[in-house]
A = this chain, B = another copy of it.
Amino acid sequence: MADVAREAGVSSMTVSRVINNKGEVSESTRLRVLAVIKRLDYRPSGIARGLATRRTGTVGLVVPDVANPFFADVARGVEQVAYAKGYNVFLCNTEENPQRELDVLQSLEEKRVDGLVLCSSRLEDDLLRSVLDRHPTAVLVNRRLEGEGVRSVVVDDEAGGRLVTTMLLEAGHTALGILSGPTTSHSGRERIKGHLLALSAAGLEDNPRRQVSCTPTVDGGHEAAHLLMLASPEITGLVCYNDLVAVGALQACADHGRGVPDQVAVVGYDDIQLAALVTPALTTCRVPRMALGAQTVQLLLDQINGCALDCAEIVVTPQLVRRASAP
């Protein structure tokens, strides 16, 4: 920078002003400085600037695993708007390991990131709170934390569950089965809640015999659907925990000689790549993952830049993706 200043016959302060478009600089000197910058191929040091301004133009993104398509999409959304706003993002995997999560959080602190997007933290409330206290600002994804202004962005799985069931109901189905996945899944329970809500909203009773849990795999869905159709042959619609389960259900329908969607409608959840590739293609429910990431950084950057939003929580609603396996 000193070189630029000397070559342009000005002080380094003026160069700084030109670079940052701050303060008034006469058009003539600004052009002269710009020319020298170009000629010397000068790039300001973000490091030095960071030291002087205490803002680094970086955010940390902490995810369990980028190779998981869900977080990969979130990461893409995050990177996209960060780029648009002139920020760079540090990507950190925790591998579901709390110790590693603490490690990366500490290293991000040392890197002096301006903000943090923390996805599905595995840390306990108190620990998480104390770690977050050391960071300027943070937004949580898929996790809530009571207390001072830690904002969250969460997925409304109950709404998702309601969505798919309502659609089936509106298409005229009255006997619905649900392959509800592992009983331990929190989001799974939310979806069941939504399912039941939709049922009662339509004036239908819940029939426990039509609900069966299963492992969240193709085989799990296959077997569970088989049992369900045996026990309750009147069923004409199958709500599935996720797309893999739905693919299994498709296989079971084929075994039973029941056409999809004519005799049985099948609907999945997640909208993984596979969903569009099977035959018939799956109608399913997708959480807009990229948008989720995008909204999250948006919120974060707004907060960093003082545009205080008073919302403590954003909830993202899943969307129905209509394909061939159901109306």
Residues of A within 8 A of B (CB): 41, 43-48, 50-51, 56-58, 61, 65-67, 69, 72-73, 75-76, 79-80, 83, 86, 88-93, 100, 103-104, 106-112, 134, 218, 244, 247, 251, 272-274, 277, 279, 290
Contact = CB atoms under 8 A, between A and B. Distances in A.
A45 B79 contact: no
A72 B67 contact: yes
A164 to B, nearest CB: 21
Given A45-B51, A67-B290, A247-B277, 13 more contacts: A46-B111, A51-B51, A57-B111, A66-B72, A66-B79, A67-B69, A67-B73, A69-B72, A75-B91, A88-B90, A90-B91, A91-B91, A218-B277
A104 B83 contact: yes
Contacts of A277: 218, 244, 247, 274
A48 B51 contact: yes
B45 A112 contact: yes
A92 B72 CA distance: 13
A148 B272 CA distance: 43
Given A72-B67, A76-B65, A277-B218, A41 B107 contact: no
Contacts of A111: 46-47, 57-58, 88
A90 B284 CA distance: 34
A190 to B, nearest CB: 25
A72 B46 CA distance: 27
B79 A93 contact: yes
26 contacts: A41-B134, A43-B110, A45-B110, A47-B50, A47-B56, A47-B111, A48-B51, A58-B90, A65-B76, A66-B75, A66-B76, A67-B69, A67-B73, A67-B75, A67-B290, A69-B72, A72-B72, A75-B91, A79-B91, A83-B100, A83-B104, A86-B107, A88-B90, A89-B91, A251-B279, A273-B274
Nearest to A218: B277
Contact of A91 (B61, B247, B279): B61
A48 B91 CA distance: 21
A251 B278 CA distance: 11
A21 to B, nearest CB: 16
B51 A47 contact: yes
Listed from nearest, the 6 A-B pairs whose CB atoms lie closest are: A91-B91, A72-B72, A67-B76, A46-B110, A47-B50, A46-B111
Contact of A92 (B46, B83, B109, B110): B83
Contacts of A65: 76
A93 B88 contact: no
A80 B93 CA distance: 8
A58 B107 CA distance: 11
Nearest to A45: B112
Contacts of A112: 45-47
A130 to B, nearest CB: 10
Contacts of A76: 65-67, 93
A273 B217 CA distance: 13
